C-alpha cells in the first residue's frame, strides 16, 4: 500500500511536466496574450504579470475583467489591461491593432494563445471555417498588424500555442473551409498544423533579415494535455476530461512552456522551433514541409486581403 501511495506523487509529477525556471523580469516591457481570461492563457498572464505589463486580449470582456482583477490583486501589478479582441472577426482584429498601436509605443512579446476546439461546423464573420479562422488566420492577421511594432521593440518574441494534435493534421488546400468534408476533431488538428507551419515560415523570413541579430524570434509549442474549458464543445471530451483529470495538466502546469518560450534567456536567439515541456520537441514531417508552409502563407494572405512579403 505504501508503494502505491508513493507512486501517486511520482505519477502526478510526471504528468505535470517541466516548470519554467527563468526568473527574468520584464520591467518596461509590454506583453499581449490572446484568450487570457481562462485556462493556460490566464495562468500565463498571471505569471508574466509578476514580471511586467500584460495586455489581456479577449472576446468576452466581462470574463477578461474578472481574470485581470484577480491577477492585479494577486500580483499587485496594476498594469494588467483588458482589450477587446474577437479573432473570429477581422474587423475586430484590425480595431484592436489600431487602438493598441495608438496607445502603446512598444511591444516585446506577442503570445498567440487563444483557440477553439471541436466546434460544430460554423464560420467566422468573414466566412472562414471556425478552427482555421480563429486558430490560424486570426493570429496570422494579428501578427501581421503588430509586426512593425515588434520589430521596433526588438529584442522581441512571438509565441504561437500549437498542439501535439498537429501530428494528425494536414493542410487541405482543396477544401480549406471544410465545405466538402468536415470532421471537428480533424479540423482542430489541421489548424494546429497551420500554427506550426506559420511559425516555421515566419522564422525563416525573419532570419533572412537583421532582426535575427536583434533577437527577434518566433517559436511554437505544445502545452500538454490540459484540464481546461477548451473541450467545452464536446460532451464526450468534457466527460472524459473529468474522469481522467488526474492524468491531465492543470492550467498552471500547461502554461509553463508558453512562459518558457516568452522569457527564458537561453532562447534569446532560438527561432522557428517547437517546444513541449520546456524543451525542443519532435515536429511531424508535415510540420517540416517548407513548400506547404510557403503555400499556406500565400493562401492566408489572399484570404485576408493582405500583402506580407
Q: Dihedral of the CA atoms 259, 264, 268, 274 (nearest 10)?
A: -50
Q: How far apart are CA 119 and CA 228, in angstroms?
A: 15
DSSP alpha helices (H): ranges in the chain? 2-16, 39-48, 61-75, 90-103, 130-131, 139-153, 184-207, 235-243, 251-254, 256-263, 290-304
Distance, in Å, from the CA atom of 169 to the CA atom of 196, rounded to the nearest integer, reads 11
> Which residues face 221 on adjacent strands?
161, 275
CA 265 – CA 251 distance, rounded (Å): 23
Positions annotated as catalytic residues are: 188
Asked if 205 contacts 147 with a C-beta cutoff of 8 angstroms, the reply is: no
Helix, strand, or coil here: 40? helix
Q: Which candidate, 32, 38, 47, places its Cα nearest to that of 82?
A: 32
Three-point CA angle 45, 30, 60, nearest 5°? 45
Amino acid at each position: 500500500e505504501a508503494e502505491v501511495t508513493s507512486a501517486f506523487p511520482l505519477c502526478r509529477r510526471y504528468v505535470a511536466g517541466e516548470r519554467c525556471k527563468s526568473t527574468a523580469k520584464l520591467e518596461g516591457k509590454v506583453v499581449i496574450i490572446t484568450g487570457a481570461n481562462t485556462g493556460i492563457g490566464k495562468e500565463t498572464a498571471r505569471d508574466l504579470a509578476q514580471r511586467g505589463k500584460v495586455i489581456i486580449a479577449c472576446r468576452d470582456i466581462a470574463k477578461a475583467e474578472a481574470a485581470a482583477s484577480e491577477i492585479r490583486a494577486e500580483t499587485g501589478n496594476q498594469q494588467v489591461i483588458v482589450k477587446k479582441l474577437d479573432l473570429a472577426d477581422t474587423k475586430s482584429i484590425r480595431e484592436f491593432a489600431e487602438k493598441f498601436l495608438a496607445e502603446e509605443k512598444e511591444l516585446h512579446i506577442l503570445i498567440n494563445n487563444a483557440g477553439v476546439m471541436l466546434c460544430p461546423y460554423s464560420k467566422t464573420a468573414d466566412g472562414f471555417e471556425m478552427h482555421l479562422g480563429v486558430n490560424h488566420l486570426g493570429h496570422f492577421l494579428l501578427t501581421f498588424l503588430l509586426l512593425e511594432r515588434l520589430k521596433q521593440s526588438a529584442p522581441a518574441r512571438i509565441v504561437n500555442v500549437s498542439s501535439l494534435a498537429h501530428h494528425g493534421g494536414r493542410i487541405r488546400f482543396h477544401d480549406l473551409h471544410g465545405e466538402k468534408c468536415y470532421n471537428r476533431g480533424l479540423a482542430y488538428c489541421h489548424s494546429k498544423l497551420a500554427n506550426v507551419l506559420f511559425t516555421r515560415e515566419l522564422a525563416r523570413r525573419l532570419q533572412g533579415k537583421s532582426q535575427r541579430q536583434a533577437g527577434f524570434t518566433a517559436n511554437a509549442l505544445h502545452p500538454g494535455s490540459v484540464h481546461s474549458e477548451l473541450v467545452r464543445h464536446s460532451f464526450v471530451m468534457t466527460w472524459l476530461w473529468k474522469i481522467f483529470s488526474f492524468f491531465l495538466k492543470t492550467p498552471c502546469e500547461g502554461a509553463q512552456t508558453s512562459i518558457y518560450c516568452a522569457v527564458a534567456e537561453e532562447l534569446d536567439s532560438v527561432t522557428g522551433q517547437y517546444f513541449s515541456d520546456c524543451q525542443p520537441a519532435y515536429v511531424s514531417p508535415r510540420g517540416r514541409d517548407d513548400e506547404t508552409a510557403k503555400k499556406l502563407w500565400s493562401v492566408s494572405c489572399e484570404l485576408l486581403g493582405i500583402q506580407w512579403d
